[in-house]
Structure 1
Amino acid sequence: MQVMVELSLYPLVDEFIPPIKAFIERLNSYETLTVTTCSTSTQVHGSYSEVMAILGAEMQRTHEDVGQAVFVAKFLNYDAMSSRQANHD
């Protein structure tokens, strides 16, 4: 099963840009993920189990490095979304 996650990260520190960039760079280091960065969020696509394991590890690392940070996420069943689009084409 494939999943797409749209994530926004809000580090609760004065210098908030470096932790966001570091998080996105770490996500981009995983060859099994497709990562698309937009102005206010990052989309991560891949195998459900892999995406969840990677996000768990990287979110934990962010909290350990930064302290307080808020993650906002939307999880979409990518298989169902792709199937629905194919039926409308």
Structure 2
Amino acid sequence: MQLSVEISLYPLQDNYLSIIKWFIGRLDQYPDIQRITNGMSTQIGGDYDTVMALLATEMKASHENWGRGVFVCKFIPGGVNLDHSE
């Protein structure tokens, strides 16, 4: 089963842009997922279990490295075409 997730990260620190870029870079270490980022969020897609496992790992790493931060996520089971635009 496929899963798409829209993620917004709000680090509770002044250097928030570097933390967001760090997180996106971590997502890029997973060759089996698709990632698209725009000015408001990052969307990832792939196998349900793979996506959920990487989110658990990378969200935990973010909190361990940077402390408090807020993740806002939308989960779409079955996935969506991340390349679609109108």
TM-score by length of 2: 0.89
Q: Which has the larger radius of gyration?
A: 1
Gaps of 5+ in 1: 83-89
> Counterpart in 1 of 2:32?
32
Distance 2:65 2:37 in 1: 21
The code of the aligned residue for 1:63 comes to H
> Counterpart in 2 of 1:48?
48
The secondary structure found in structure 1 opposite 2:39 is: coil
User: Where does structure 1 differ by over 2 angstroms across 4 or more consecutive aligned residues?
Assistant: none
1:40 Cα offset (Å): 0.7
The secondary structure found in structure 2 opposite 1:30 is: coil
The secondary structure found in structure 2 opposite 1:62 is: helix
The secondary structure found in structure 1 opposite 2:44 is: strand
Gaps of 5+ in 2: 82-86
Distance 1:29 1:61 in 2: 14
1:29 Cα offset (Å): 1.4
TM-score by length of 1: 0.87
